[in-house]
Structure 1
Amino acid sequence: MQRLVLWLIAVFAFVGAARAEMPAFPASFRTQEIAANDTTIHVRVGGQGPAVVLLHGYGETGDMWALLAADLARDHTVVVPDLRGMGLSARAADGYDKKTQAGDVAGVLDALKIGKTDVVAHDIGNMVAYSFAVQNQKRVTRLVLIDAPVPGIGPWEEILKNPLLWHFRFGGPDMERLVAGRERIYLDRFWNEFSANPANFTEDARVHYAALYARPGAMHAGFEQFHAFDQDAVDDKALLVQYGRLTMPVLALGGEKSFGPMMATVMRAAADNVTEGVVPASGHWIMEENPKATIALVRPFLDKPL
């Protein structure tokens, strides 16, 4: 009987966690569509103070940052775009290389009349953030990159050999046809395999993101983000030569069960002032798996005087 009771408690705890509501941005945040760099970017803006831009990755949208945005908005102006073609941003016909998307970020900031800014990024957002930072070293005051490599930088070629990254080469019209109507099945693969505990990527979050990626053109835009990696590697190597190594403070965070300290190894290949950090009890999906620890690592780094 005791075993049955314990089993029922575990089952109900799991179901409760799986049905946990997805965090929402504070009501004080506004959303707007900003014309930038020949496309339209969906942006959430809130708070007051020094600016910070939060860039999401694949399998999520800017919505992933709700809890961090709420914390930072106490004393920052927080800007949270959906990347080109993703989430509620326009489905651009092209421009999915990260150098072009760095121009999207610049255009959004210009439209908001924001000069200098901190940048916090995750996954593909890292790649956009790096390109933006290296080209705008006087504009980016601090840079946080979380749990994803940067094309052409550091051990990129070795990282590509990891069989878990098969999706980097997956795409094209036939693949889009295979995935059409099965977006949830495709995305569940990543949410499950790249989590330390898949139960921490809640059912509400899965439903929310799967619906966004099922919108017309969304999966095509996602595949194009990966399709551009070869060009991104060429561009990033050239930008490093052209603009030099990053000189602003960089926080390189990896999930304990994912990239871990490898993030710092990647960034030390292109930056002079790198702080290493690991998000404990987390795989790749840091804001889903351990948002409290992620905020506790990011916040003091952004608060530290320059």
Structure 2
Amino acid sequence: MSFRAAFAFLLIFVTAPALAAVPPYPAGFKTQEITTNGVTIHVRVGGQGPAVVLIHGYGETGDMWAPLAADLARDHRVIVPDLRGLGLSSKPASGYDKKTQASDITGVMDALKVERADLVTHDIGNMVGFAVAMQNPERVGRFVLIDAPVPGVGPWEEILKNPLLWHFRFGGPDMERLVKGRERIYLDRFWNEFSADPRKFDEASRTHYARLYALPGAMHAGFEQFHAFDQDAIDNRAWLAAKGKLAMPVLALGGEKSFGTQMADVMRAAATDVTGGIVPASGHWIMEENPVATTRLVRAYLDRP
């Protein structure tokens, strides 16, 4: 091997970790901007077959779902929005209660002429998906919720006492000024504290999401997602009192080192047909920590007769 070739090989080897990137969506996926409910939602769409909508949570965007979306697109039409205020969606000052965001999601479905879809959700996506299912149960087939509670449902008040959830009450203009230009420092707390192994949430992913959360209005939108929890709890309790529990099949998955079996306990307070499950060797960030197991569990549930 020549010196030049040896040097090139060494350079590739040494720099390989830095070349890692957030997994891309397959080439068959298209992006579009859908204007609905007073907001513009950035949406990825790919595949053919029964529709499934994947909804992300805080600290990430719809980019998180790429490995799962690639698998499901083999026999599903996969729809992946960025929530209002986050990622590449527009960033209004308000509208972060989950009832309003549920209308964003159904508006996206309407624009894509999708009458009914399965839902797969994570973190705050669980809360938005729950509002979709409560308001429009006829439009939801199966519902998979992953590793986050739902305001006002089950042991919500006890969950709020967990000191790890300090950020639920953090925010406001002063806090926005404190984190401006320091978004990465703030977000690292979540990626580190809620991981079974923080190394699994790699540097490329951290850089990618920190850049998106540094966009104008994004941190305000993130804080507002949490500020709306009190209203979300009121809305959810009212829906459950008026309509009763969800009837569609529900899979409640918890990260082994995070919510674990408590996810199923939460959802049994709000749904009649609940299957519990565990994402092994994972904390909260299931698609970074164990995407293979997450995909296997979701796929097996959606494929059930």
With normalisation by structure 1, the TM-score equals: 0.94
What amino acid sits opposite 1:135 in the alignment?
A: Q
**What amino acid does structure 1 have at the position aligned with 2:172?**
G
Q: Distance in 2 between matches of 1:17 and 1:72?
A: 28
Per-residue Cα deviation, 1:205-249 (whole angstroms, up to 9, x for no partner): 000000000000000000000000000000010111222211111
SS at match of 2:137: coil
1:18 Cα deviation from its structure 2 partner:
7.4
> Matches of 1:212 and 1:297 in 2, distance apart?
29
1:234-249 equivalences in 2 (<5 Å):
234-249=234-249
1:18 and 1:270 map into 2 onto residues whose CA distance is 44
Is it true that 1:49 corresponds to 2:66 in the alignment? no
3-state DSSP class of the match of 1:54?
strand
Question: 1:190-209 to 2 correspondence within 5 Å?
Answer: 190-209=190-209
Correspondence list, 1:193-272, <5 A? 193-272=193-272
Which residue of structure 2 aligns with residue 278 of structure 1?
Answer: 278
- Aligned partner of 1:132: which letter? V
* Matched residue type, 2:78: V
| Count of matched residue pairs | 293
**Cα-to-partner distance string for 1:133-178 (whole Å, 9 max, x where unaligned):** 1111111000000000000000000000000000000000000000
Q: Is the Cα contact below 8 Å between 1:17 and 1:202 reproduced in 2? A: no
In structure 2, give the amino acid aligned to 1:42: H
Q: 1:58 Cα deviation (Å)?
A: 0.2
Report the equivalent of 1:31: 31
Q: Structure 1 regions of 5+ residues with no counterpart?
A: 1-12
Quick one: distance in 2 between partners of 1:211 and 1:242? 42
Shift in alpha-carbon separation, 1:251–1:141, aligned structure 2, 3 A:
same
**Structure 2 counterparts to residues 127-146 of structure 1, below 5 A:** 127-146=127-146
- Using the alignment, how far apart are the partners of 2:174 and 2:164 within structure 1? 21
Give the Å deviation of 1:19.
5.7
Within 2, Cα distance between the matches of 1:219 and 1:86? 8
Give the Cα–Cα distance (whole angstroms) in 2 for the partners of residues 131 and 243 of structure 1: 12
Alpha-carbon deviation of 1:21? 2.3
Q: CA RMSD in A?
A: 1.4
Alpha-carbon separation, structure 2, partners of 1:111 and 1:271: 28
2:278 partner SS: strand
In structure 2, the CA distance between the partners of 1:19 and 1:275, relative to structure 1 (3 Å rule), is: farther
Aligned to 2:91: 91
User: Within 1, Cα distance between the matches of 2:90 and 2:65?
Assistant: 20
- Contact in 2 for aligned 1:18/1:202 (Cα 8 Å): no
Aligned mates of 2:164, 2:94 — CA distance in 1:
27
Unaligned runs of 5+ in 2: 1-12
Counterparts in 2 of 1:231 and 1:142: CA distance versus 1, 3 Å: same
Kindly indicate whether residue 71 of structure 2 is the aligned counterpart of residue 107 of structure 1: no
Separation in structure 1 between the aligned mates of residue 18 and residue 294 of structure 2, nearest angstrom: 20
What SS does the aligned partner of 2:276 have?
strand
1:278-301 Cα shifts (integer Å, max 9, x gaps): 000000000000000000100010
Matched, 1:175 2:175: yes
Shift of 1:17: 6.1
Identity of aligned residues (%): 74
Asked whether 1:122 is paired with 2:122, we answer yes
Mapped partners of 2:261, 2:20: distance in 1: 30
- Residues 96 and 21 of structure 1: CA distance in aligned 2, closer, same or farther (over 3 Å): same
SS at match of 2:59: coil
The letter of the residue matching 2:57 is G
Asked if the contact 1:116–1:141 (Cα under 8 Å) also holds between the matched residues in 2, the reply is yes
Divergent runs of 4+, >4 A: 15-19
SS at match of 1:89: coil
Match for residue 3 of structure 1?
none
Amino acid across the alignment from 1:77:
R
Matches within 5 A, 1:56-71: 56-71=56-71
What CA deviation, in whole Å up to 9, does each residue of 1:83-111 have, x standing for no partner?
Answer: 01110000112110000100000100000
Displacement of 1:16: 6.1
Residue in structure 1 matched with residue 6 of structure 2 by the alignment: none
Distance 1:96 1:236 in 2: 15
